[in-house]
Structure 1
Amino acid sequence: MTESKIKMQLLEDGHVTSPKGFSAGGVHCGLRKSKLDFGWIHSENPASAAGVYTLNAFQAAPLKVTKNSIQKDNLIQTVVVNSANANSCTGEQGYSDALMMQKMAAEKMEVSIDHVAVASTGLIGVPLPMENIKKGIHLMNHNSAAEDFEHAILTTDTVTKHIAVQLEIDHQTITIGGAAKGSGMIHPNMATMLSFITTDAAVDPDSLQLALREVTNKSFNMITVDGDCSTNDMVLVLANGQQKNTLLNESHPDWTAFKAALQFVSEELAKMIARDGEGATKLVEVHVKGAPSETAAGYVAKAVISSNLVKTAVYGADPNWGRIVCAVGYSEQPLDPEKVCVSLGDIDVVKDGLPLDFDEAEGKAYLENKTVKLQIDLQNGTNEATAWGCDLTYDYVKINASYRT
């Protein structure tokens, strides 16, 4: 374990099942040729639940079912997820299939039907093969391992994404774990990504929902791979209270520490998604400071991280700072071009809106790193924000030119 500045410990091999009372698993049910394609998370007791969802107008059927269930009593006990098929743009049949998926999982796990969340990811516009889903649900608990769940939810991802941390609350060791998937169709305001976060802390559901929204705005909504916002994205947080701490809410003395740990988990999962962008070779971080508001800083950071010209320059290790200032300029945020400063890591390339004499070979060498940090100072306030993305490569086109065929 390592300790962070918020008195939090990072578990070396943390998973979504690291918190007390959670199990997970994954099986192959035939949605994909041979890879695991159906997974689940289960809590020993109903857990306080919070969710945030894609802003795409075409919200997929599973997302609607999950949202409706959480709204009833803010409790979820079982989550079932399939990959390979998004069950999106599938009309009334798709919604009925999502409800059936929920019903069958509730019967299998012997929980209330309203306490089952469903999620799907994969190809849009294709009916969900329910015989395969039935097979997956029948096999639940036959292959219970967090690693299997993490593999089962992947699509074009190249690696699984998981993390867990611990912190002390009310003299109890509280654990927060998480797993996510996402590689393409990733853009701020959610994307084709799913994230599931668990904790054994007792948390007031309304407070949990507020915390998740705040945390998401600084993590999952600050990443981009390709500028596309999908139909199925959601982040769910489940808090089962098994450590029996005093109920956490905004007035609890440890609320700030809990929210900081939730922020850390979400931010790390978000960066894992950005790093694993389709065809990507580098993680790109854009940090903006000196902004008149945090919102303005966020918009500038998103403009730069979303720029295809910036992304391709990073891929080619081309220290073309002009593309960065161009993106800053079209962010439509209040700024004085004659004050803007830009750095590639520690290499200053623009000061007060004018180019600096720097060693281009040194700039190129820096951009060849696996993690690239672009720093922008607007010198127009005290607020800051960070966004994450990846480079744009030839392989991204190859992957998506034949995604369906």
Structure 2
Amino acid sequence: MLGKDSFVILSEGSVTTPKGFRAGGLHCGLKKTERHDLGAIVCEVPAQAAGVYTLNQFQAAPLRVTQESIAQGGTLQVMLVNSGNANACTGQQGEDDARAMRTAGAKAFGVAEHLVGVTSTGVIGELLPMPKVLSGIERLPGEVKADGGDDFCQAILTTDLVKKEICVSLTVDGRTVHIAGAAKGSGMIHPNMATMLGFMTTDANIDSAHLQKLLNEVTDSTFNMITVDGDTSTNDMVVVMASGLAGGESLTPEHKDWPAFAAAFHYVGEYLAKAIARDGEGATKLIEVTVSGAASREAARAIVKTVIGSSLVKSACFGADANWGRIIAAVGRAGHPVQTETVDIRLGDIVVLTQSRPVKFDEERAAEYLKGEFVQIHVNLNMGNHTATGWGCDLTYDYVRINAAYRT
């Protein structure tokens, strides 16, 4: 895959930067505060669409509605989202409410129902206050605009502390193409996928099938490689919409510019995934775990997820304690065979274990490193050629405080 030199990161970009997109948000009364809680991304033409969804068996009603919409023709034109209420585990009434949102969105924006997607995030098990939601959808067209990316980002937040957005540009067929993304996620974060919503827009000319394949590949190595607390939500979803308005030949894996497009697409996914991990509830730092020298890709990924998800590893990072014993213990319980005499571990560039034997290291320097906002843990199994990387955050007192009072 090509590197960052194949695209440009736009500091002022948003989900509305790709040609044809508008977005916005407003407060309709789902949240107790006056923060936005209803938003939309709208494309001026039916956009080629793709989506990935939570593997939790209790999948929220809006996700099923969105899957139905995309399945009809592989396109979306309006993506509605509310925060403050997940509309999950709400039975038939929840299904009816999600479809009512789709119907209202189609009417408000003047498009066919199957061109509308719906998603929700927030408290599980509570019915949506539909009069408020429907009234808000009626008002949304007046709030959706070309510079509405920030309002949309605010509308999707729950316990997030910061908005998460990114936009890049690259050249395809001599034309400028944009890929942008926005996401929310802070708690109930764990592969596959996480308590997260992700929205990506692009003006690239690419059909739904190729977009879906690329999204699957990118999700597998980005959104599916983050964890905050080991819980997987009922509402996780990433949706991509491609307007095609940049023009040019349709992008396929055989296109000469496909590697550059795929690299840029992957960067957007990885950036959003890492931003979600960094903004974990109560978190003070982003932790990146890389496992190399594994006998298989599956082993590398499983061990990464076990280390990054270990409460003891996360707590040690919070306390700036270079306790490598917690790391190697997680490696050993990941469910894949390892050679117990060949493991090397580094914290940043500080070697703490060589060939499964402790080495002397500067404890004060290691503690100072772990106090930083970005911690890298490197594990080399010395068994093969496979590598995987994942991201998480430390486990703090604030995580318990936030989740002990989530509904209040």
Which segment drifts farther, 86-95 or 331-340? 331-340
Structure-2 separation of matches of 1:292 and 1:285: 21
Residue 24 of structure 1 pairs with residue 27 of structure 2: no
Question: Is residue 60–residue 232 contact of structure 1 (8 Å, CA) maintained in 2?
Answer: yes
Structure-2 separation of matches of 1:122 and 1:341: 41
Q: Which residue of 1 aligns with 2:102?
A: 102
Residue 385 of structure 1 pairs with residue 388 of structure 2: yes
Structure-1 separation of matches of 2:198 and 2:393: 19
Q: Which residue of 2 aligns with 1:346?
A: 349
Q: Which residue of 2 aligns with 1:218?
A: 221
Structure-2 separation of matches of 1:266 and 1:259: 11
Shift of 1:207: 1.0
Shift of 1:143: 2.5
- The RMSD of aligned alpha carbons is 1.0
Structure-1 separation of matches of 2:354 and 2:162: 39
Q: Which residue of 1 aligns with 2:42?
A: 42
Structure-1 separation of matches of 2:225 and 2:71: 26
Question: Is residue 6–residue 257 contact of structure 1 (8 Å, CA) maintained in 2?
Answer: no
1:279-299 superposed Cα distances (whole Å, 9 cap, x missing partner): 000000001111122221111
1:312-323 superposed matches below 5 A: 312-323=315-326
1:9-158 superposed matches below 5 A: 9-33=8-32, 34-144=34-144, 145-158=148-161
% same residue: 54
Q: Which residue of 2 aligns with 1:270?
A: 273
Question: Is residue 289–residue 385 contact of structure 1 (8 Å, CA) maintained in 2?
Answer: yes
Structure-2 separation of matches of 1:404 and 1:108: 31
Question: Is residue 287–residue 392 contact of structure 2 (8 Å, CA) maintained in 1?
Answer: yes
Residue 325 of structure 1 pairs with residue 328 of structure 2: yes
Shift of 1:5: 3.4
Task: Mark the runs of 5 or more structure 1 residues left unpaired by the alignment.
Answer: none
1:149-169 superposed Cα distances (whole Å, 9 cap, x missing partner): 000100000000000000110
Q: Pick one of 149, 170, 173 that aligns with 2:173.
A: 170
Shift of 1:4: 5.5
Q: Pick one of 302, 305, 317 that aligns with 1:302.
A: 305
Secondary structure at the counterpart of residue 246 of structure 1: coil
Shift of 1:142: 2.5
Matched AA of 2:187: G
Structure-2 separation of matches of 1:175 and 1:206: 19
Structure-2 separation of matches of 1:382 and 1:233: 32
Residue 395 of structure 1 pairs with residue 398 of structure 2: yes
Structure-2 separation of matches of 1:14 and 1:334: 45
Secondary structure at the counterpart of residue 253 of structure 2: coil
Matched AA of 1:241: G
Question: Is residue 6–residue 260 contact of structure 1 (8 Å, CA) maintained in 2?
Answer: no
Structure-2 separation of matches of 1:27 and 1:5: 35
Structure-1 separation of matches of 2:248 and 2:286: 38
Q: Which residue of 1 aligns with 2:366?
A: 363
Secondary structure at the counterpart of residue 207 of structure 1: helix
Residue 233 of structure 1 pairs with residue 236 of structure 2: yes
Matched AA of 2:97: D
Secondary structure at the counterpart of residue 334 of structure 1: coil
Shift of 1:404: 1.1
Residue 335 of structure 1 pairs with residue 342 of structure 2: no
Matched AA of 1:170: D
Shift of 1:199: 0.2
Matched AA of 1:391: D
Residue 193 of structure 1 pairs with residue 192 of structure 2: no
Shift of 1:264: 0.4
1:2-30 superposed Cα distances (whole Å, 9 cap, x missing partner): x9634100001221111111000000001
Structure-2 separation of matches of 1:48 and 1:143: 24
Give the TM-score of the pair, scaled to structure 1: 0.98
Question: Is residue 48–residue 241 contact of structure 2 (8 Å, CA) maintained in 1?
Answer: yes
Secondary structure at the counterpart of residue 325 of structure 2: helix
Structure-1 separation of matches of 2:175 and 2:94: 44
Give the TM-score of the pair, scaled to structure 2: 0.97
